[in-house]
Every structure is written in structure tokens, then in C-alpha cells.
Amino acid sequence: MYPENFAYFRPKTIAEASALLKKNKGARVLAGGHSLLPAMKLRLATPKALVDIGGIKGLCGIQMRGKTIWIGATTTHAEVASSAIVRKSCPMLAETAAQIGDLQVRNRGTIGGSIAHADPAADYPTALICLGATVVARGPKGERKIPAEKFFVDLFTTALKGGEIVTAVLVAPRGKGQGAAYVKHPHPASRYAVAGVAAAVEIEDGRIARASVVVGGVTASPVRAAAAEEALAGKKADPAAISAASSRLADSLPDPMGDLYASGEYRVHLAAVLAKRALTAAVERAKG
């Protein structure tokens, strides 16, 4: 399959990229190309121009900046998975990246591309909302910081405005008494999440002081499992509390998606099973 003809630009700065997006109506950013190019070949996307951000310096890499982990938008999934900083300070995010697709996808796909694409079956959105991450975007009106929870608006829809480019993702390192885990049921061919659950807990004096549980793959964009979080608050961090919370997951998923691979009902069932596993791993980590 061949895509429709398009113009190709490879700017050297974000300002130049942003101006190209503004000038060329219907232009799209090109990062790893692992979601955009298949869509173009199927003619599901027919951009008139591609603005390749791969040559922009300062958009790639992972650094500790103050007390925050800074991950540049064009950092590949493989780089996140193998980063010593991420593995030490936020192992859950490295594990999430390691579960994406196959080796080829992880070596080409980028964190900025994944979140800008906002596929309901993608892994990063679920993990980043759970971790309370921030998305940094730059556009014609300057820089904006968007909480991950507000970034994913709907199916393949984000809070990005015209001409805005994701430049980085900011994540707080896990501290003492904190633990997080991401568990998914992968589609056997693509590895996309049929359902995926991210859980993070903070334990004080053996009790769960704070919990964050987010479900992906089941609805148009990831959903916070508020009832499960409430069920955990103040409880002893033990299997009984985790079971009770996991059984509340369906409360937050009243309208699950079904497709060729899995019915909505099955996805909700999966999510509860995965929540139990993710919470168990998060609690173990928090206990050190």
C-alpha cells in the first residue's frame, strides 16, 4: 500500500517545526512513524506534509532535572526501558516501555509520538496518568505544561492545540514508601494492551496513605478507577484490601469497548484481574 503524496520537511528547531505546521495546512509531525506511517499507507491519514522532528537537537534523552525525570519527546521506548535513571527512580515506567510492541517498534517508536497518538490500547497513557506525569508542549503561543490526566481527551484525541509539539514528559521519581507497577494483557500479535492497569501506592505505618489506579484499553482513553482508590485509602496494605479494591474496578468502567478481540465484558473482567496483580506488585515495591 502506498500513501498519498506529501511534502517532507526536516526542521532543526522546534520554532521552525511549529512554524511549518502552522504554514502547511494539514501537516503532521513525524516522530518514529510507527503509528503514522501505517495509517498513511492504509489512507486512514492523508497529511499534505510531514514535519520530521527527528533532527531537532534537545528533544531526545533522559535526565534528572532537579527532582524531576525529564524525558525528551523523541526518546524511543527502548531508551526509556534501558535507562539507568528510569530503572532506578521509576522502574514501573521502564517496565511499561519494555512491554510495548516488539524490538523494532521499541527502537523506532517515541514517547512523544505514543502519547500524541493517544491510541486507546497504548501503554504509556495509562502509566503516565497513574504516575501523575506532566506533558510539556510547545507551539506558536509558547510552552504549556499539561497534567497527563488532562492530556488524553478521547479516542486518538489529546489536549494539544494547532501547531503544538510535545517536547518532553516530566515524571517524579518514586520515593520511600512508594511503589508502582503496570500490568497488561497483550494482544498476542501486536502486543497492544487488550487491557492494562497501572497502580501506584504510598504506604505509611503499614497503611495505604494514597493509591492511584488507572485502567487502559477498556475505554476510549484511560480511566481512573476512583472506587478502587477510595476502597484502598487508609486500609492495611494487605491482600484483603487489594482484593476488595479490585472488585470495585467495574464501578469505573460502565461503558467498556468491545471489538473483534475482546468483548467489553471480558475487558472489564481482565481489568479487575490485572488490577489485583498491579496493586500486589506496587505494594511489594512500596514495602521495599
Ligand X SMILES: Cc1cc2nc3c(=O)[nH]c(=O)nc-3n(C[C@H](O)[C@H](O)[C@H](O)COP(=O)(O)OP(=O)(O)OC[C@H]3O[C@@H](n4cnc5c(N)ncnc54)[C@H](O)[C@@H]3O)c2cc1C
Q: Is 174 in the site for ligand X (CB under 6 A)?
A: no
The least CB distance from residue 160 to ligand X, in Å, is: 6
CB atoms within 10 A of CB 26: 11
The least CB distance from residue 229 to ligand X, in Å, is: 23
Burial 217-230 (b: 16+ CB within 10 A, else e): bbbebbbebebbbe
The least CB distance from residue 195 to ligand X, in Å, is: 12
Nearest residue (CB) to ligand X, 151 versus 232? 151
The least CB distance from residue 128 to ligand X, in Å, is: 11
The least CB distance from residue 273 to ligand X, in Å, is: 19
x/- mask, ligand X, residues 43-82, rule CB under 6 A, reads: ----------x-------------------x---------
x/- mask, ligand X, residues 7-46, rule CB under 6 A, reads: ---------------------xxxxxxxxx-x--------
* Bridge partner list, 185: 195
The half-sphere exposure of 63 on its side-chain side, counting CA atoms within 13 A, is: 9
The least CB distance from residue 23 to ligand X, in Å, is: 16
The least CB distance from residue 78 to ligand X, in Å, is: 11
Nearest residue (CB) to ligand X, 109 versus 179? 109
The half-sphere exposure of 258 on its side-chain side, counting CA atoms within 13 A, is: 7
The least CB distance from residue 71 to ligand X, in Å, is: 12
x/- mask, ligand X, residues 81-100, rule CB under 6 A, reads: -------------------x
Stretch touching ligand X by CB under 6 A, among 112-120, 144-152, 238-246, 259-267: 112-120
Nearest residue (CB) to ligand X, 63 versus 190? 190
Nearest residue (CB) to ligand X, 165 versus 271? 165
Nearest residue (CB) to ligand X, 113 versus 222? 113
How many residues of this chain interact with ligand X, rule: CB under 6 A?
33
Q: Which of residues 176-215 bind ligand X (CB under 6 A)?
A: 190-192
Q: Is 126 in the site for ligand X (CB under 6 A)?
A: no
Q: Is 113 in the site for ligand X (CB under 6 A)?
A: yes
CA distances from 214 to 142, 149, 226 (A): 30, 10, 9
Residues lying near ligand X in the complex (CB under 6 A) = 28-36, 38, 53, 73, 100-101, 105, 108-110, 112-114, 116-117, 119, 122-124, 160, 165-166, 190-192
